Structure formats: structure tokens, C-alpha cells
Chain A
Amino acid sequence: MSFEFKVEGGDFTHAGYASSQVKKMLKQLGVDSNIIKRVVVCLYEAEVNIVAHARSGVIYVALEADYINMRLVDSGPGIPDIPLAMQKGYSTASKEVREMGFGAGMGLPNISANADSFNISSVPGTGTTLDITINLNSAF
């Protein structure tokens, strides 16, 4: 099954919708709650990244019985130095975003730690694509 969720840059009010929808589906499938948690953490962090940094983005979710793949494609500033962005605590989030409780610089490291497979590619000035896959059968 495949789904698409559109994400609007700057709209923190509606961030989290995709995570809630995906979460319900995983519960329907009877996926272990620890795995659901990892999926939801990855998706929410990635969604908030788009809201905080990009103009807009789309989340493509492919759900099968044994795995979930989430591809998040945004049109935004892109990331010039990916290894630097992957470091814990590194963030380019604005003061406003930090004041809302986001932008602690834990997003990408968190996603990487919770995903079974994680790929990031970025073109400065164009946008960033995250590709996250999580196995739904085994425990972490």
C-alpha cells in the first residue's frame, strides 16, 4: 500500500498528522509497539525537519506486511554539509523554531539511530530527500 502526505513549510500546527495516520495502520497490523515507536520517531522528526527548514515537501509511505519505507522529498535550502548535519546537537534552526521546542539538533541523528536503513541526499538550493526503511518483524 502506498500513501502520500503533503507537508507545508512553517506550519507547525499540523505537524504530526502523517505520524498519527501511520501509527494507526501499524497498530491495525499488530506490529510490536517498540517498532511502531521507532517508525513514529523517524517520521515525526523528518516531518518536523521539512516544516522547520523547507518551503514544502511530500512524504511517500510504502507499507508492506514486513517493512515500511518512508521517502521524504522537500524543496528547500538543502544541506551543504551532510556529515556535519548528522552530528548530535548541530542545528541551523532559527531562534523562533527553537523557542517552539524544536531544532535541538537531534533530528537526523535520531532518525539514523532508529531506522534499519537510512539514506540522505541533498542538493543545496534545491532540496533534500530522506529515505528511511524499517523492518516490521524483528525486534531492534
Chain B
Amino acid sequence: MEKSFFHHALSIREDICTGCSICMRVCPTEALRIRDGKAKLIGDRCVDCGECYRKCPVHAIIISQDDFSRIFDFSHRVALIPAVLHGQFRHEVSMAEISAVLRSLGFTWVYEVENGAGILKTAIEDLMTIRTLPRPLISTYCPAVVRLIQVKFPSLIRNFATIKAPLEMAAFYCRKVLRDKGAHNAEIGVFYVTPCAAKIAAVKSPVGEESTPITGVINMDFIYNKINRTLRNKGEFGSDKGHSTSVSPESLTWSLTNGEAANVDGRTMAIDGMNNVIEFLEKLENDEISGVDYLELRACDEGCAGGVLLSSNRFLVAERLRNKARNLLVAQQRECADEFPPIENYHDYLMSKVNTTEEIKPRSMYRLSVDRDEAMRMMKRSRRIMCWLPGTDCGLCGAPSCLSLAEDIVRRRADLSNCVFIRETNQEKRLMARETSSRIMKRTWGENNFEKNCNKKGAENESN
């Protein structure tokens, strides 16, 4: 049997949720429902893309992170930061300055994740020479896309390029360097400053790997606020003399759209945005697309610059980061402190770690039952139910579409009388009492939403 759930970094705070159903309508895998006036997550369907988090008007969806003070449990405290963090600050703020601020917060080593991308370039090149592998190879960089393919496009799992992400490479390197200097593994804490929920979920329950070199995750918005505050209070902060990075300009923009595909030979494509990715994978699965060698797919528009935990505008972040990369190129600036040997010195060690070790398994969200005959009966029933549902996708039943309600009904997660159209018809035919109908409505949307409330968004005395 396939594993029944993923670890989810996203959760809903029921004390804040108003049951407005915006999240339910934007979820690309239809993983949310409204019950008792609150949004409920169907864990098996959620891929942690974070669209709900992005759109929630009352911030009721939260992304769990590790407690910051946990870093002090370790004598070596490594902050692994994605380059998009740098892209959030004005151009005058250098990477070394950000590093200095982070060290003042308690980290002993600040290292850009993208340092780990150079090795992947070699690993992808190696994979591309293997003629027997299916084409296109699909990048496993974006964990939301990996999960999307597991639940929605299981036949494409065989196309995955079975290599790790820059994050893991950078983490292995940092651990190895510190161990070589005499530190014990248990004394090293490697903390990832994450731009999204999917990366957290991937660290907490890795797909395609049995263990992870990363100790914990800290959300990027939290770090961004801390850095911003420090910079604004102190004005000029000074550079971190020990800041070591040997990241190349091509690697620095790896997390942006086409950052990865541009480094791969052959016919490559880069697609960003959850709905664009889904549309393309649908075609790929139908065999409508041929001759593509490598596919970079990212859940967020503009790649990680559009990550849900970034505080700045994604286009600005991407532009600033490209600028920083260009400047690296012009100055041939290879900031590299003597303290740490550059990552290139560990090429062979990292190449031995680059392949994913566990098979990525399908977890179809469509399957109605493990028993084929039962699944057939359920499908027939669902189609019969569709004859009666209006097809308006109004969402008043607490499901995002009529089709999803029909499936919920045959999965015994909902009832035909959840549909307001069915209830109207039944009342007209005097088959249902008015009170019954309102009771059902209130059970879905909660008693509160039927009372006057002038504090809600857009109302007379709006207050939150």
C-alpha cells in the first residue's frame, strides 16, 4: 500500500478562519472543503503549493516552522539561505552585509544554497547522456511539482531526473567541511531559510530520500523582518569578512524561472505557475508533446522569487537577483574566505551523494477505491449524481465544483442534500422542510455567517 499522507507544513487556524472559501476556490488540486464554517484540508490531495496561504484574506493559514531559539542547541549554527533572500533587498545591500546581519542574530556560518547548484549541472549532464532514460527528464527541484505529479500525473514519475536539490548539496558540503575541521555531526545544526511551504514539507518528509542533512527550517518572512529591522536601526552594517561564497552567476539565478533549464543542453523548457504546469503536464501525459529533453517546472510564477514566504514583489526580486548575478560576472568577484575551502574541492564527495536514494511512489488522488469493481460502481454513481447537480460550481455545498461534490458523495464525505439546488427543488416538491434546509446550510457555513457582523472586511466598522 502507498503511504497515506505527506507531512504538511500548511495548516488552518480554525479560530481565525471565517470560512470565506477563497482558498477552496484557488486550490489547484481541490484539496479544501468548507464544513462548520471553516476550511478543512484533505491531506492526501494537498501538495503544499501554498496558493491558499497566498490568497487567505485573514491569514488563517499558517506555515509551521522550527523555533528560532533551537539554533542555539548547536555549537555550529549554519544558515542556508536561498539567493532570493538577497533579491529582496535594495541593490546597495551586499550579500556579505546580509551575511553579517545573520551572524549577529546567532548563526556561525551563512552560506548561499545556490553554491550547491554547480554540482547539479554536472549531474544533470551525466543523466542526459543516458539514452535509455525517458524524455523529457523532469526536474525534481520544486517539491510542490514533485508532489503534484505523484497525485495527479503518476505515469510521469518515471520521467523524474533522480537527483537532489542544491539545498541538499549545500547542506552536505557544510556538514562535511565542519566535520573535517573536527566538529561532531551532533554539534552541527543546519537551518534552511525557506521561501515556501513545499520546501518545508520536503525537508520534514523527504520524497525519494530516507534521511536529510538539514536540521530545521526557518521561514523567510521571519528572517526578512529581522534583517530589515536590524538594517533600519543600524543604517550601515558592515560586511561579513568571513562570508564565503564561490557561487557562479549561472548558479545564483538557479531558483528563478529558466535558471535551471538554461544550464542544460538540448531542447529544454521552463514553465512556472501551478496552472501552467498542470496544463502542460496534461498534454505531456497524452503524448501530445515530443522532442523535449529537459523540463524545469516551478509551482510559483517567477520561480522561487514568487515563493509564498517572500515579502517583496516577485518581479523586483527576480530583477535584483539577475543584477547581482551580472555584477558577479563583471567583477569576477569570488568572495571566498580562507576559513572554508570552496565547494568545488568537494566535487567527488558530493557526486557520491547527488542521486536520490528512494523510489518516488505514485499516490493517485483520483482513485475511487482499491477494488476495481467498487471503483466502477462509484464512478457510475458519481455520473448519475451529476445528472442532478446544476453544473454551476457555485461552491455553496462546501466543495469547489459540482464534480467534486459528486465524488465526495460517492466517497461518503458529503450528501446530495448539501447542494442548494437539490434542496430548493425538494422544498418546492414539499419533500424537505425549510428548517431542514437551513440547518444544512448552517452546518456547512457555520452559525456565525448568518449573523450580522459589522466588523468583517469591507463592512461598516471593519476591524481585525
Cβ-closest chain A residue relative to B362: A33
B288 touches A30 (CB 8 A): no
Which B residues touch A66, using CB under 8 A?
372
**Is A24 at the interface (CB under 8 A from chain B)?**
yes
- Alpha-carbon gap, A19 to B157, bound state (A): 20
**Is B93 at the interface (CB under 8 A from chain A)?**
no
- Alpha-carbon gap, A34 to B158, bound state (A): 11
Encoded as 1 (CB less than 8 Å from any B CB) or 0, chain A from 1 to 33 comes to 100000000000000100110011101111001
Which A residues touch B369, using CB under 8 A?
30
A37 touches B372 (CB 8 A): no
A1 touches B367 (CB 8 A): no
Which B residues touch A33, using CB under 8 A?
154-155, 157, 362
Given known contacts A29-B372, A36-B155, is B380 in contact with A1 (CB within 8 Å)?
A: yes
Out of A1, A37, A44, A65, name the residue touching B288 (CB < 8 Å). Answer: A44
Which B residues touch A40, using CB under 8 A?
285-287
- Alpha-carbon gap, A15 to B126, bound state (A): 37
Which B residues touch A41, using CB under 8 A?
287
**Is B414 at the interface (CB under 8 A from chain A)?**
no
- Alpha-carbon gap, A58 to B161, bound state (A): 39
Cβ-closest chain A residue relative to B367: A30
**Is B375 at the interface (CB under 8 A from chain A)?**
yes
Q: Which of B155, B283, B368, B369 has the most CB of A within 10 A?
A: B155
A side interface size, CB within 8 A:
23
Main SS of chain A's interface residues? helix
Out of A20, A24, A25, A30, name the residue touching B372 (CB < 8 Å). Answer: A30
Which A residues touch B380, using CB under 8 A?
1
Cβ-closest chain B residue relative to A106: B290
B379 touches A1 (CB 8 A): yes
**Is B356 at the interface (CB under 8 A from chain A)?**
no
Given known contacts A1-B379, A1-B383, A37-B155, is B364 in contact with A30 (CB within 8 Å)?
A: yes
Instruction: Determine how close the nearest CB of chain A comes to the CB of B362; give it in whole angstroms.
Output: 7
- Alpha-carbon gap, A1 to B288, bound state (A): 26
A29 touches B364 (CB 8 A): no
Encoded as 1 (CB less than 8 Å from any A CB) or 0, chain B from 349 to 387 comes to 000000000000010101111101101101110010000
Out of A20, A29, A101, name the residue touching B286 (CB < 8 Å). Answer: A20
Cβ-closest chain A residue relative to B366: A27
- Alpha-carbon gap, A37 to B366, bound state (A): 16
Given known contacts A33-B362, A34-B155, is B375 in contact with A23 (CB within 8 Å)?
A: no
Q: Which of A29, A44, A64, A101 has the most CB of B within 10 A?
A: A29
B366 touches A44 (CB 8 A): no
B155 touches A30 (CB 8 A): no
Query: What 5 pairs between A and B have smallest CB-CB spacing?
Result: A33-B155, A27-B366, A30-B367, A65-B376, A29-B375
